[in-house]
A and B are shown apart, each in its own frame.
Chain A
Amino acid sequence: MRLADFKNEIRACIRCRCGFCQEECPSFKLFKLESYSSRGRLTLAWAVLNQELQPTMTLAENLFKCLMCKYCSLRCGTDIVLITRAFRAELIERGLVPAKIGEFLENIHKYGNPFKETREKKGKWLKELGIDYFTPNHEFLYYIGCIGSYDLRGQNMAKALAEILLKANISFGCLGADEFCSGGEALMLGESGLFQQLAEENIKKFKELGVKKIVTLCPHCYYTIKNEYPSFGGKFEVLHYTQLLSDILKNGKLKLSKKINAKVTYHDPCFLGRYSGDYESPRQILKSTPGIELVEMERARENSYCCGGGCGNFYTGFINGSQNSPSRARVREAHSTGAEILAVSCPHCMIMLEDAVKTEELENKLLVKDISQIILDAI
């Protein structure tokens, strides 16, 4: 959809200035200017639609600082992230893309991942763990995603999950070098052409291989494949790994025998929480882990505060660096609960929050761990 298709919604925001989108908006909290909140950005969209404002690179630099965490959409009467996507798409069409974002998208286009890494490197560790290439005999395609494949910390998460699935005798296979980026970030950045290309390639591959069920490491991929692929003919049963783990713990396929003995707080990732409405699966896993005392942060579930990693920010670092950057604010909040472990269920969150723990000098006080790593320790 184009920006003009949202004219009624944008006009409604011009009429209703409730500003409910602002309270926990990461970019507004960081930059503290109206234009960095959805209310401000929709004011700019209105000015563009009425030709009072010509799109410029300054506008693009502002607009691409939104993390698409969807906090604003939940507080509003409309899904603002769809409008932001359309707004970004118009800027991209005009060639107004901040250099780092351009580089990020180009890497995905050229290399199939944002890190400029070769396909061959993808999933090199799969062989070491003895994980099969997906065949129609497997129940699940384990879709690892770019961070899980290339980033060291992401790999650790991906490996931990693979080990759990092996121990639980789950029938699964991976695609290794044949796994393309899901395109979720491209979609959120407004690059719908690139997204479509990736989605179509993936769907084709999945269908050729006879994939029926997919389990993903990353909530971004989970949301994208589950909710965006069906429009391109890709209808699969998609689970985020926490949903699968919660299930196999419940039905006894996996038993946890070791005690963890720690106070744990859980950070809801935007794409499993606000985008997909699943706040329970990860909590059920943690609650059923022996020895864990689960404590909640002040901003949890629908009000969870974004880690700052969305929309390629884990790569571009657009809104990192200061004391008020989302990831640093979030780890301070996690630390204030008295928790020793900050549990995550998303590789974006892992990267952002672990870096922030170091910057905040909380290394000896707060450990960022993926739920898969916690569970592996407890088996």
Chain B
Amino acid sequence: MSYNISEKVLAELESIVGKENISYSKIDLIAYSRDWSIVTAIKGYPPDVVVKPKSSTEISQIMQLANREKIPVVPWGGGTGMSGGAIAIQGGIVIDMRGLNRIIEIDEENLVVVAQTGITVHRLNNELEKHGLWWPHDPESKHTSTLGGAIACDNIGTFGTKYGGIIDYLLAIEVVLPTGEIVKIGSKAPFSVSGYPLHLLFIGSEGTLGIITEATLRVYKKPEYRCVELVAFSSLSDAIKSCLQIITLGMDPESINIMAKEGLIYYTRLYKEKFGVIPKIPEDVEAVVAFSFAGSRELSEFQRKLALDVCVKFGGTIIEEPEIVSSFWAEKHTLEYAPQMNPWFISAMKGRYLGIDLCCPLSKVRHLHETYRKLLSKYGLEPASGFFMLCKRIKFSPNCVFTVNVNDSPEEVRKAQEFICELAEYAVKLGGTVSSSRGVGAAPTRNLLYKEHSPEALTLMRKLKRMLDPNNIMNPGKKFPCEA
């Protein structure tokens, strides 16, 4: 959809960001028309103009102009979104945030970093590493995805079990509101009950309430040692029980990941390279638990042994092949692949990978998993890497990811959308949510919000949105059901 921005407005935009930081050339616009989501599977949505501001002041001026002219504004971080959040589905102005990529302060003593949000997660960590620190938010897209994207989509990372999610890191933000005000919320104080914690409102806001331009984060000392283990189980329930027991006994794993058998097959690449065959995975394996401990060698090793004992007691079989463990850890954390062996690209040769993030009470996970299996058969879809659970919040609060492989034919995309909605609706019935991570964006699940939230809650959300964004310029068509 084209918004037809007038030449006068384009000239004003140019005067704000400078000639070299604006483009409305067709080729530049097409390059911003797609992301990783099913939203852009069949066609792309080019914006009308792309701008690359360098400061929150410039963003504020852009917002004032867009608000005056009622032009949609869509922030773009790394463009790796899986829900269409950064796609200008109604046209308008795409703001490429990667020009705001400075680290403002690294406070080693207080373990706090202040950075602009266009910095990639990886670069932020590279800089922190020079001070012996790290931000343990660790998505697989970290080389490309930005700090702003992580906050706005309330993303998951490998180390959530120990360090939590965005809410556990975020101390303060600077945000530019749709009406142009630049607002600083929060401070370096580890806790505060004075006023409302408004910065938390912007976590998972997906660019619908404003543009987060700066963030103050809790960071940690980089652990000196790490050990990783994989254990196979013949029952998902036993896998979950052993993880709960690990936590109950007071152990402190930095990551816990439970995956289905299909997921394990993804991690046999190194083994195959070395031995020429895929390792034999016993028929009865239903789930695999992967965990890691980090910190001092002594403590990590002690916990590792204890955790393995727990798993074995629950019927687990330790996966001894180091090649499988290394492959798994390469995909989860190090991302060290041999040249031209990027596994996502290789899997994309077969189909579009869709990860549907749902969350439900722990006791219902098995039901949700069974329904996922049934729906795969009903719709005739492939499971991609199957199902996995990753702790998004501290301790064992798993985010469930159900994966599907979709070829981009209109028929299969339609089937996949129906599949996603049916599964998400079932998650709500079990007391869960239609989206527990990566945002809702323009995904079909946004139309199910009324299933999950009460009418009063939705009304309050809409009121808040209108109060902050009276002309609905911020990422319109996202997050809320279609009519909003």
A residues lining the B interface (CB < 8 Å): 8-9, 11-20, 22-23, 32-35, 39-41, 43-44, 47, 52-53, 56, 58-59, 62, 73-79, 302
Contact status B143-A20, CB under 8 Å = yes
Stretch at the interface among B21-29, B67-75, B239-247, B418-426: B21-29
CA distance A53 to B25 in the complex (A): 12
Beyond the given A44-B27, A47-B44, please list 15 additional residue pairs across the A-B interface where CB-CB is below 8 A.
Answer: A12-B346, A15-B41, A15-B351, A15-B408, A16-B352, A17-B34, A18-B141, A20-B143, A33-B28, A35-B27, A41-B31, A74-B339, A74-B340, A76-B340, A77-B341
CA distance A75 to B143 in the complex (A): 11
Contact status B79-A17, CB under 8 Å = yes
The contact string, 1 if C-beta is below 8 Å from chain A, for chain B 33-66, is 1111000010010000010100000000000000
CA distance A41 to B34 in the complex (A): 12
CB closest residue in chain A, given B346: A77
Nearest CB in chain B: distance from A107 CB, A: 28
Q: Report chain A residues within 8 Å CB of B347.
A: 16
Closest 5 CB pairs of A and B: A77-B345, A19-B144, A16-B348, A40-B31, A34-B31
Name B343-383 residues within 8 Å CB distance of A. 343-349, 351-353
Contact status B79-A34, CB under 8 Å = yes
- Whether B478 is near chain A, meaning CB under 8 Å from some CB there, is no
The contact string, 1 if C-beta is below 8 Å from chain A, for chain B 326-344, is 0000000000000111111
Given contacts A12-B348, A13-B348, A77-B345, contact A18 B144 (CB under 8 A): yes
Contact status B78-A19, CB under 8 Å = yes
CA distance A15 to B408 in the complex (A): 8
Name B194-223 residues within 8 Å CB distance of A. none
Given contacts A32-B96, A78-B340, contact A14 B34 (CB under 8 A): yes
Given contacts A34-B31, A52-B30, A53-B26, contact A17 B36 (CB under 8 A): yes
Contact status A58-B35, CB under 8 Å = no
- Whether B32 is near chain A, meaning CB under 8 Å from some CB there, is yes
Q: Report chain B residues within 8 Å CB of A15.
A: 36, 41, 348, 351-353, 408
Contact status A302-B339, CB under 8 Å = yes
Q: Report chain B residues within 8 Å CB of A58.
A: 25-27
Contact status B79-A19, CB under 8 Å = yes
Interface residues on chain B, size class: 35 or more
Q: Report chain A residues within 8 Å CB of B33.
A: 43
Nearest CB in chain A: distance from B65 CB, A: 21
Contact status B80-A19, CB under 8 Å = yes
CA distance A13 to B348 in the complex (A): 7
CB closest residue in chain A, given B141: A18
Contact status B50-A47, CB under 8 Å = no
Q: Is the interface of A mostly helix, strand, loop or mixed?
A: helix
CA distance A73 to B341 in the complex (A): 10
Q: Report chain B residues within 8 Å CB of A12.
A: 345-346, 348-349
CA distance A17 to B353 in the complex (A): 11
Name B273-322 residues within 8 Å CB distance of A. none
Given contacts A18-B80, A32-B99, A43-B33, contact A76 B144 (CB under 8 A): no
CB closest residue in chain A, given B123: A23
Q: Report chain B residues within 8 Å CB of A35.
A: 27-28, 30-31
Contact status B342-A53, CB under 8 Å = no
Contact status A17-B35, CB under 8 Å = yes
Nearest CB in chain B: distance from A3 CB, A: 15
CB closest residue in chain A, given B50: A33
Most chain B CB inside 10 Å of its own CB: which residue of A17, A39, A40: A17
Q: Report chain B residues within 8 Å CB of A23.
A: 120, 122, 143-144
CA distance A42 to B163 in the complex (A): 37
Nearest CB in chain A: distance from B129 CB, A: 11
Contacts A/B (CB < 8 Å), 16 sampled: A9-B349, A15-B351, A16-B345, A16-B347, A17-B34, A18-B143, A18-B144, A19-B78, A20-B342, A32-B99, A33-B31, A34-B50, A39-B31, A53-B26, A58-B27, A75-B342
Given contacts A17-B34, A44-B27, contact A33 B96 (CB under 8 A): yes
Nearest CB in chain B: distance from A254 CB, A: 33
Q: Report chain A residues within 8 Å CB of B31.
A: 33-35, 39-41, 43-44
CA distance A35 to B31 in the complex (A): 5
CB within 8 A of A62: which of B27, B35, B141? B27
Nearest CB in chain A: distance from B94 CB, A: 9
